[in-house]
Structures are given as C-alpha cells and as structure tokens.
Amino acid sequence: MQRLGSIDELPRGLRFVATVGVFDGVHRGHCRLLRAATSAARRLDAKTVVVTFDPHPDAVLRGRPPALLCDLDERLARLDRAGVDLTVVQPFDRAFSELSAEEFVDRLAGGRDLAALAMTSESGFGHRRAGTVATLEEAGRRRGFELVRVDPVSLGGARVSSSRIRELVGQGRFAEARRNLGRAHAVRGEVVHGDGRGRALGFPTANLAFEDPVALPSNGIYAVLASWGGPNPLDPARRELGVASLGVRPTFGPGDRVLEVYLLDFDELIYGERLRVSFVRRQRGERRFSGPPALIRQMGLDAERARTVLAHSGPLAASEQPC
C-alpha cells in the first residue's frame, strides 16, 4: 500500500474509488465500508483510496482527541491488510476543517478520475459535515462519479462505532468490544524506565508511555498478550503472555496512572520498544496491600491466574477477523 501525505499528492489522471474517515480502530463497521470500496474499485477498474486524518479532527475542533483505539501505524497496517491501494494521511488543521464538502471534492477529484465515493448513510465530511449522502449523490450526478451507499453494522441493537467501542472498553466489557472490533482490544506504547519497584519485588515490568490518549479500561489487573518488533504492529517479531497492572499503585501511595506489564517467563530489557498489549480478561480491581510481602504474594497469584486464563483463551485472544 502506498502512503501519501496529502490529497494534493494523489497522481494526476488516477482513476480511483475513495472513502473518507478517521477509521480509528478499523472496526467491523469500517471493514464493511472498505470491502464495499475495494469491490467497487475492482468493478470499475480503479484503485482504492482511503483518506484518513492525522491528528484526529477532535484534537483541532474540540481541543483534545478522543481516547484512540489504535495508533496511526496500526491503522495503516490494517488498511493495507484490507486491500487498500493508496492511503492519504491528510494533515487536519483549522484551515482544512473549514473546507466545504464541495471544496473537498474539488481537491480530491481535481485532475483525476474519481469513479466512485463510498460512504455510509451516517457519514459526513466537509465543514460542519455538510457532505452527506444526499448532497454527494447530487454532486456525483453533476461530476460523473458513483456514490456507493453502505449500511452501518449493528450488533445487539447498537451501531458499531469507535465511540461505542471506547465505551465498552472503559466498562471492561471486553467480549462485546471484541465482537465490535473483530479482535481483542489493544494499545501500543513505548517501554520507558519506571522506578524499578517491580524488579525489586521480583516482578520486573514494562512501563508504557503513550503519545496520545488511548482507550483504557478501569484500574485493575488484566491477563494480556504482548507483542513488539517486526515490520508493522500486525506482524510482530516477538509475542509473550503477560499480566498487566493499570492504576496508581496505592500500596506505595497514589501516584500517576500507569500501565505496566509483567511478561511471564521473560526477563530481557526492552526499553524503547513499542509494545502492543491486548487485553484478554480482567482478573480483579486495584487494591491497596498492607505492605510489600502481601503484595508479592498477590502478584504471584495474579501471574499464575493469568497463565491459566491465557492457556485456555490464547488462540481465541490472538485471533482476528480481518476486513
């Protein structure tokens, strides 16, 4: 898949089918839209182009992005896996946000052959999301491109959306989040130096730092799968089982909220690696212990329980439903 830095970099004369959106998480609803776009591109002898945005539009329009379901590298890897030919990572700033839908289509199609535009009935883009199915159907009739309408995906009476999945993750409803995503929810962060307390207790942990807000569940202990290295987040060089602690570590006095991962049967230094942590099951809430000995005993129990959980659910946890 080719990556471009702006819609203005799309080659002149390109015949293409486009779809536009943030695609945070590349969830099952996104996958239906991507399948429709790639199918239309084959039918129309065209390339499939996805226009996505970085930073997230909410970072500009609301001053802060939402808690993201995946970072840009994983988003691009998933779009590539879905069969997209070109992805435009359009810088999103105040000036771009003020483009009308008509102006956006002008820039997208200018000097090129826009064969079709794929979108759901709930999609919208351009200033104040004025580019709706109705307005773009009319634009397509005038400009000669087809509008491919895609029905949203619903599960259990609720529409699959990034905001819905964030809500499920926040509530610790991992099974439902999995059904909406098509995989276990995961976050990626850089392994950074901590205070060394885990190693002193006999459970060395990888402490994660995040560039942007990420979707995390409530504080507690979780059985997780961890991976890192490789050419992209979906093809890691290493995979390990682990148990993660998310919280403020109240036994030693409340501090900053931290996600730290103890990798079972692993004791190597991986500072600087981008660790991808998939949440498999919540084991318990965060607790304050009387002191290090009681905490150490519980950490041992947590590790063994995670080992048992992952032994029974590992293949399921690692499985994905690609687009």
Burial bucket for residue 122 (CB in 10 Å: 0-12, 13-18, 19+) = middle
Q: By the 8 A CB rule, do 49 and 10 touch?
A: yes
Read off the pLDDT of each residue in 300-323 and give the average, rounded to a whole number: 79
Give, as one character, the DSSP assignment of residue 67. P
Measured CA to CA, the distance from residue 138 to residue 217 in angstroms comes to 43
Structure tokens at 66: 């939402």
- Whether pLDDT at 220 is above 90: yes
Q: By the 8 A CB rule, do 283 and 309 touch?
A: yes
Q: By the 8 A CB rule, do 277 and 220 touch?
A: no
What integer pLDDT is reported at residue 131 of this predicted model? 74
Instruction: Quick: pLDDT tens for 154-167.
Output: 999 999 999 999 99
Measured CA to CA, the distance from residue 135 to residue 238 in angstroms comes to 48
CA angle in degrees (0–180, nearest 5) for 50-279-222? 160
pLDDT range class, residue 196, cuts 50, 70, 90:
confident
What architecture is the 183-318 domain classified under in CATH? Beta Barrel (2.40)
Measured CA to CA, the distance from residue 37 to residue 126 in angstroms comes to 20
Measured CA to CA, the distance from residue 313 to residue 303 in angstroms comes to 15
What integer pLDDT is reported at residue 254 of this predicted model? 76
Q: Which residues are within 8 A (CB) of 317 and not within 5 positions of it... i.e. 6 or more apart?
A: 184, 225, 278, 280, 310
For 2-158, CATH gives 3.40.50.620
Q: Is 136 helix (H, G, I), strand (E, B) or coil?
A: helix
Measured CA to CA, the distance from residue 106 to residue 88 in angstroms comes to 16
Measured CA to CA, the distance from residue 323 to residue 316 in angstroms comes to 17
Q: Which amino acid is at 219?
A: N
Neighbours of 163 (CB within 10 A): 11
Measured CA to CA, the distance from residue 283 to residue 265 in angstroms comes to 19
pLDDT range class, residue 314, cuts 50, 70, 90:
low
The domain segmentation of the chain, as residue ranges, is 2-158, 183-318
Instruction: Quick: pLDDT tens for 231-282.
Output: 999 999 999 999 999 999 888 877 899 999 999 999 899 999 999 999 999 9
Q: How many CA atoms lie within 13 A of 41 on its CB side?
A: 22
**What is the per-residue DSSP string for 157-206?**
TEE--HHHHHHHHHTT-HHHHHHHHTS--EEEEEEE---SHHHHTT---E
Instruction: Quick: pLDDT tens for 101-143.
Output: 889 999 999 999 999 999 998 777 777 777 788 888 888 999 9
Structure tokens at 281: 């099951």
Measured CA to CA, the distance from residue 109 to residue 89 in angstroms comes to 16
